[in-house]
A and B are shown apart, each in its own frame.
Chain A
Amino acid sequence: MLSILRGFLILTAFLMLGDIIVELFALPLSSGVAGMLLLTLWLLLRRRLSHDLDAASQPLIGMLALLIMPGVVGIFFQADEFSGQWLTIFIALVLGTLLSSLTTLWLMQRLVSMSGERPHE
């Protein structure tokens, strides 16, 4: 339990650090994302993941679906705002996702088979 709290302290401290950097340099980033990047960088430099950090991250990541639920629910209460737009939104999402899936698969498959033929390049 104390391990989780220590890990939580590290995560929250990185969130704060993210906050500070985003504010200071007026970055177009959310403080959470800035904190995540800083944490990844720190881990890459240390080359070691502490037990505390792992113990705190696992349950928080498992809770993500719960944490975004209040935002998801908003769609039912703000639906009027986008009335008349639903067909556009639906077409853009379905067609856009189909096209981007096709592009990624094709590109990645080509590049992997190319690097597979010449593995030592």
Chain B
Amino acid sequence: MSEFLLRLESLANMLPQRPETAIVLTLAAYFAGLRLFGWLRSPAWCPPILLAACLLAGLLALLPLDYTEYRRGVGWLTWLLGPATVALGVPLYQQLHHVRTLWKPIVLTLPPAAILAAGYAVSIAWLLDAPPTVLASLAPKSVTAPIAMGIVEELQGSVSLLMGALLITGVMATLSITLLARLGNIHDQRVIGFALGVNGHAIGTVRAFDIGPTAGAFASLGMSLTGVFTALWLPLMWHIMG
């Protein structure tokens, strides 16, 4: 019996180190988050990923497993982010034909819109005396998460703070574009969709698909183009500005 207890103890030491523990926790929290989202009747201000992240954080806080250990264990899963980012090239290719039908407004709107999406927030934070890490973490706030994570590593910001920033930006862009379009009497799905994708990345794109397929297509186009464009100019600009 005492031998069994000893084995139980060594198991308790070993389990937190194993990748499967981290992966089981992540997947379980993910599906629980999705279910909770359904029960709450799919609130727009609280995407399922936030619910899942809160559940996972709760689990990690309760269990004898610290965050660095968890990150090491879950590495097998997060590595897939690389091929998944490459995979974003497929929808980008599929949506590029929209550029042909409306190329002038898209080509002229994209650069200033993408630069300002980063510029306004960074300037406001800079005026309020935020440290460089915070500025670097806020800069890619309107870029879709997998691309933004790559950018923030280049700028040496905090991935975690970026994730929070992405969430607030997505929700805020969705709310403000819905409201502003109503106030400004804008009904063109292409305009609303594009604005949602450029400013609100994936969260805005989900909302655009609620409005209609045209809005959705323009939102995913706007999201992809903003991601690519920002990934090219932002790190370059950051290096130049020092």
**Partner-B contacts on A (CB < 8 A):** 8, 11-12, 14-15, 18, 28-33, 35-40, 43-44, 49, 53-54, 56-57, 60-61, 63-78, 81-82, 85, 88-109, 111-112, 114-115
Contact = CB atoms under 8 A, between A and B. Distances in A.
Nearest to B165: A93
A100 B151 CA distance: 20
B150 A67 contact: no
Contacts of B92: 36, 40
Interface of B: 22, 26-27, 29-30, 48-50, 52-54, 56-57, 60-61, 67, 70-71, 74, 77-78, 80-94, 96, 102, 104-105, 108-109, 112-113, 116-117, 119-125, 128-131, 134, 138, 141-142, 145-147, 149-151, 153-154, 158-165, 167-169, 172-173, 176-177, 180-181, 184, 186, 188, 190-192, 194-195, 198-200, 202, 227-228, 231-232, 235-236, 238-239
Contact of B84 (A39, A44, A67, A73): A67
7 contacts: A33-B85, A60-B80, A71-B162, A91-B128, A97-B172, A104-B117, A111-B104
- The residue among A31, A93, A95, A102 with the most chain B CB atoms within 10 A of its own CB is A93
A30 B83 contact: no
Nearest to B236: A28
Contacts of A64: 81, 84, 145-146, 202
A106 B184 CA distance: 9
A112 B101 CA distance: 11
B113 A28 contact: no
Q: Is the interface of A mostly helix, strand, loop or mixed?
A: helix
A64 to B, nearest CB: 6
Q: Is the interface of B mostly helix, strand, loop or mixed?
A: helix
Given A8-B83, A14-B86, A92 B121 contact: yes
A92 B192 CA distance: 23
Contact of A40 (B93, B149, B160): B93
A28 B168 contact: no
B106 to A, nearest CB: 8
Contact of A73 (B60, B105, B235): B60
Given A60-B83, A98-B172, A103-B116, A65 B121 contact: no
A97 B169 contact: yes
Contacts of A88: 125, 128-130, 134
- The residue among B54, B138, B146 with the most chain A CB atoms within 10 A of its own CB is B146
A97 B239 CA distance: 24
A11 B79 CA distance: 13
Contacts of B30: 65-66, 69
Contacts of B188: 109, 112
B189 to A, nearest CB: 11
Contact of A91 (B48, B74, B124): B124
Given A36-B89, A69-B29, A15 B82 contact: yes
Given A36-B86, A85-B134, A92-B138, 10 more contacts: A29-B235, A30-B151, A33-B151, A72-B50, A88-B134, A96-B123, A97-B172, A105-B191, A108-B191, A109-B188
A87 B192 CA distance: 29
B91 A61 contact: yes
